[in-house]
Amino acid sequence: MATIHHHHLPLLHIPTPPAFKPKILCKNSKNDAAFEEKKSGFVDYDKGIHHVSTQVSGIRKDQIPQRYRIRVQGDRFQKDWSVSQVVQKVLELDHKSDDVEGLLNRWVGRFARKNFPLLIKEITQKGSIEHSILVFRWMKNQRNYCARTDIYNMMIRLHARHNWTDQARGLFFEMQKWRCKPDVETCNALINAHGRSGQWRWAMNIMEDMLQQASVNI
């Protein structure tokens, strides 16, 4: 019986390029209320219908740093939307022709980097990959952006759901350039993505690298 030799493709040790955006260290937020999900409901007894939605406020204008509050004060184009409101407004736009970045630049909450994971979570849960990519691209261009593993995990899972396997793998490499360390959730999402697309060689390589990393850390 012939033996098949697989050439192992290294995944977890990608050399960092000489030029990269400086990493911003993230601190844990003390404003828990801003990140709580609140359910709101609507009932039409005449039509016999009901609708339940989850709303996330995020950090609002009165909670952003003072220098930014002064900057947006009195500017009628700057809007104090909640995270859920921003997501809804983005999804109402045509991702091909409308100015998604222009809308996001009117959102006061962009000055609070702790809103970014909430924003990505909300929009990826809606399932629109095109809108999510535009939001993520805009987010990475913000001065106060902080690269986070959980943000990349959410984007990788979304790409996996849409069978965009190559793009999901590209995000995996990108997160390491930003010095974001992949975790078990990252690897599971990638294994799932490659398994669904029939790319078993990549899936096995990812699993082997994950097991090797686990043995090193024990």
Can you give the chain as a three-state secondary structure string? CCCCCCCCCCCCCCCCCCCCCCCCCCCCCCCHHHHCEEEEEEEECCCCEEEEEEEECCCCHHHCCHHHHHHHCCCCCCECCCHHHHHHHHHCCCCCCCCHHHHHCCEHHHHCCCHHHHHHHHHHHHCCHHHHHHHHHHHHCCCCCCCCHHHHHHHHHHHHHCCCHHHHHHHHHHHHHCCCCCCHHHHHHHHHHHHHCCCHHHHHHHHHHHHHHHHHHC
Q: Are residues 46 and 124 in the same domain?
A: yes
pLDDT above 70: residue 84: yes
Q: Are residues 180 and 101 in the same domain?
A: no
Q: Are residues 82 and 154 in the same domain?
A: no
Q: Does residue 129 belong to any structural domain of this protein? A: yes
Mean pLDDT of 188-208: 86
Q: Are residues 142 and 167 in the same domain?
A: no
pLDDT mean across residues, the chain: 82
Q: Does residue 132 belong to any structural domain of this protein? A: yes
Q: Which of 146, 178, 209 is the last residue of a domain?
A: 146
What pLDDT, in 10s, does the model give residues 132-150? 999 999 999 999 998 999 9
Among 34, 74, 80, residue whose Cα is nearest residue 57: 34
Q: Are residues 159 and 99 in the same domain?
A: no
Q: Does residue 82 belong to any structural domain of this protein? A: yes
Q: Does residue 23 belong to any structural domain of this protein? A: no
Q: Are residues 134 and 165 in the same domain?
A: no
Least confident of 96-100, 102-106, 198-202, 206-210: 206-210
Q: Are residues 200 and 102 in the same domain?
A: no
Q: Which of 116, 146, 176 is the last residue of a domain?
A: 146
Q: Are 117 and 148 in contact (CB under 8 A)?
A: yes
- The pLDDT score that the predictor gives to residue 18 is 42
Q: Are residues 100 and 85 in the same domain?
A: yes
Q: Does residue 175 belong to any structural domain of this protein? A: yes
Q: Are residues 102 and 158 in the same domain?
A: no
Cα(first)–Cα(last) distance of the chain, in Å? 37
Range of 168's domain? 148-218
Residue at 208: amino acid letter = E
Q: Which of 89, 121, 146 is the last residue of a domain?
A: 146
How deeply is 99 buried, as exposed, middle or buried, from its count of CB atoms within 10 A (0-12, 13-18, 19+)?
Answer: exposed
Q: Does residue 4 belong to any structural domain of this protein? A: no
Q: Are residues 88 and 156 in the same domain?
A: no
Q: Are residues 43 and 89 in the same domain?
A: yes
What pLDDT, in 10s, does the model give residues 41-80? 545 566 556 544 578 899 999 999 999 999 898 889 999 9
Mean pLDDT of 124-129: 95
* Domain count for the chain: 2
Mean pLDDT of 31-44: 58
Q: Does residue 5 belong to any structural domain of this protein? A: no
pLDDT above 80: residue 101: yes
Q: Does residue 19 belong to any structural domain of this protein? A: no
Q: Are residues 59 and 120 in the same domain?
A: yes
Mean pLDDT of 113-127: 96
